[in-house]
Structure 1
């Protein structure tokens, strides 16, 4: 099964009908800054600080917190599966990604700010995991609109670098936000001298992330790419039930005439579920299995994001030269091997070394998956397809959290990592039969 051939050396060669030249630098910079700001949620809230605070401090014990958190993320996955394609179809109809992205961004910001009210008491555990899950759902929907913009701002010879650079900037933004959270808020109240009573310093981290995301999303709200309205098309009112029917018809049509695309969506859904769990549960496993406190987990997160940024930036250039397939396969194999080493050897230094090795692969494979889809999807279907991309990912998003919960219950928190490894292995097995024609090397363009 083979996906359509990627573009060759010629800038005008078609690759999912991408423009022949990239957007102005200001537009690309604004698009990248959104990733820079949004990763404060992924890194500080979802991975290394606030989720650890909720599961380790708010919860009565770490294992209960980890299991309740996993259940909440499973529910969030179903929410994204229902909403993402609907929002994508709506975006294709409205043709105003920038407005939709602005609204969803502001909703994520508001939800993060509400996390201030999660106090360090067991009775607040449900509120904490619910707010994190809700923010996760809205953020995933926002990413549908954000990813769709890549089709507007990149060319066949720059899509890998633009995608990889933005993803790397996301890690850099996450690192900076995490450093501020650790040294400004967490270490004995931090340099800001915030009170540690009632965990005001940990709760204040949520306000930091809300402000951070808002600040760096403003440029895209102002200078983000616009879509030309189809003035000659008379559109009927948007009806969700009808939209779902159209989405189902699109999936059936994929099965009949775009089976390679459907194959990719399914395979990517499986391994991306494992990827999302890497950062979602890395901090929690570090705390529950290796006795790291919140600050130690945050330091590990800083190191993980730095190495992830470097790996993503570098492999983004490889993507433009050789295509995304070798990146996807190579990173999956590496992560599976490193995960098995961590499970086999119960030592903190092994978790550090091989955990950072895994971190170096995560952004690269996600960026490569995004560019592969961008290269093959026609402009009229971008939003809907990225909505299906998110939905496909969430359709199986119960898998990794479920396996983590099962292995945690059977063998302890450290073996919860086996759930991630199994999910990645299943994704690799599903992806391997899919063939993507290799790109011919080209000389990078000066306008990139």
Structure 2
């Protein structure tokens, strides 16, 4: 059984005495600062700086290198799907959720720091790809435990607000760090400590700063949020192979009791991977095909985070009035149309990417946020934690789709911008799977 499935069962079943009666501001802030710190990996490593550096002409022909990045991340997604049940089961049944958060977080910190040794030369490409793939794997494992701790720092009445605080701190942390590295290292000819762009040193020092950033801001949650000791910590521990029958048993039970929830888990797993692909490959496309300099990519990244943050908060108000499904549908349709515009107007230069790239960011946040609230309305009473665990699990199980589709379409078209179609296809499939899902449960015989 995967981490979140186990965590969820524990959360749903734990007695009232183990449920927080009030929200601790100190613990919420400590928990949210992990999200602030983790923005260093999302924004700097996988989206706007290191992967852009890795797919530059210093490492080879851009289309070929971009495809290799897609294959590497696709392979990482497969490993996440295979290994997630084991990591989740161990952290739940051992009652060492925070311990495994610490272990996986600082493995990511170490991997990020090791990216400093990736010099701008084709012979270092596979080292860079290996580190990015490995970093993604352990970052996902860390996120499993981090997300599971949400129930420990919130009450049933504040869980949405607390989750939003963490999400918001993540966007804000990404903006602040990108501003620091842009003005301190990448934009000036000679940055802090006399660092220049020679031998890729500005980017390589940026990844070191990112590692330190994540390592420091991950400490508060480890120091101020207690270890989990709920019912899940007393669940029998099983081995690698036995974890899968347990997972399938949980899914079968949910299928019998809440079929619409299962339909939504499948649909959302697909379109959420497409949403992740928008950010993962957005910076790569901006630099590779649309000719953005490293500094321009970071400026775009800052704008993208601002747009995504504002739209998520604003559209969240419509969620309660219109319902979550219309918000998700409209967002996914907007993503498909904006993505197609980027593809067909690829010869329009940077201005086209600015317009339609930011349009993509406009729709990503609302789709993610409304997806969570839609599921919350579907879940049978008393099964919230378990189902949100499966929500995360199913998302990771298909996390290879967007990177693989990106790589396949580049291979088919022979140009980097063709990868856009791969991401759009994944989003479109998720949209089609979502259409028949009902916002209320059908009564099963």
Deviations 1:135-185 (A, max 9, x none): 111111111112222233334543333323321221111111111122212
Distance 1:164 1:230, change over 3 A: closer
Match of 1:186 in 2: 186
Aligned-partner Cα distance in 2 for 1:426–1:224: 40
Deviations 1:239-268 (A, max 9, x none): 222222211222333333333332222111
Distance 1:152 1:321, change over 3 A: farther
Superposition pairs for residues 147-296 of structure 1, below 5 Å?
A: 147-187=147-187, 188-230=189-231, 236-296=236-296
Distance 1:76 1:387, change over 3 A: farther
Match of 1:446 in 2: none
TM-score, length of structure 1 as denominator length: 0.86
Shift of residue 120, structure 1, vs aligned partner:
1.0
Structure 1's unaligned 5+ residue stretches are 1-13, 439-448
Match of 2:123 in 1: 123
Residue 414 (structure 1) aligned with residue 407 (structure 2): no
Residue 428 (structure 1) aligned with residue 428 (structure 2): no
Superposition pairs for residues 302-341 of structure 1, below 5 Å?
A: 302-319=302-319, 324-341=324-341
Match of 1:105 in 2: 105
Alignment partner of 2:436: what SS? coil
Match of 1:402 in 2: 404
Shift of residue 283, structure 1, vs aligned partner:
0.8
The 8 Å contact of residues 147 and 370 in structure 1, kept in 2 or not, is answered as no
Aligned-partner Cα distance in 1 for 2:119–2:409: 29
Candidates 332, 356, 359, aligned match of 1:357: 359
The 8 Å contact of residues 86 and 387 in structure 1, kept in 2 or not, is answered as no
Alignment partner of 2:194: what SS? coil
Shift of residue 378, structure 1, vs aligned partner:
7.7
Aligned-partner Cα distance in 1 for 2:279–2:252: 34
The 8 Å contact of residues 161 and 317 in structure 1, kept in 2 or not, is answered as no
Match of 1:441 in 2: none
Structure 2's unaligned 5+ residue stretches are 1-11
Alignment partner of 2:56: what SS? helix
Q: Which stretch of structure 1 is more off in the superposition, 197-206 or 312-321?
A: 312-321
Shift of residue 415, structure 1, vs aligned partner:
2.7
The 8 Å contact of residues 51 and 284 in structure 1, kept in 2 or not, is answered as yes
Distance 1:400 1:331, change over 3 A: same
The 8 Å contact of residues 184 and 192 in structure 1, kept in 2 or not, is answered as no
Aligned-partner Cα distance in 2 for 1:228–1:327: 37
The 8 Å contact of residues 88 and 386 in structure 1, kept in 2 or not, is answered as no
Deviations 1:66-114 (A, max 9, x none): 0110000000000110122322222331234222212211111111111
Aligned-partner Cα distance in 1 for 2:82–2:230: 27
Q: Which stretch of structure 1 is more off in the superposition, 402-411 or 45-54?
A: 402-411
Aligned-partner Cα distance in 2 for 1:226–1:326: 39
Match of 2:9 in 1: none
Match of 1:55 in 2: 55
Match of 1:367 in 2: 369
Distance 1:306 1:73, change over 3 A: same
Distance 1:191 1:231, change over 3 A: closer
Aligned-partner Cα distance in 2 for 1:315–1:95: 38
Aligned-partner Cα distance in 2 for 1:156–1:325: 23
Aligned-partner Cα distance in 1 for 2:161–2:218: 21
Shift of residue 294, structure 1, vs aligned partner:
1.5
Alignment partner of 1:241: what SS? coil
Equivalent pairs counted in the alignment come to: 423
Q: Which stretch of structure 1 is more off in the superposition, 343-352 or 199-208?
A: 343-352
Distance 1:374 1:181, change over 3 A: farther
The 8 Å contact of residues 94 and 237 in structure 2, kept in 1 or not, is answered as no
Aligned-partner Cα distance in 1 for 2:159–2:409: 39
Q: Which stretch of structure 1 is more off in the superposition, 248-257 or 299-308?
A: 248-257
Aligned-partner Cα distance in 2 for 1:390–1:15: 19
Match of 1:392 in 2: 394
The 8 Å contact of residues 77 and 400 in structure 2, kept in 1 or not, is answered as yes
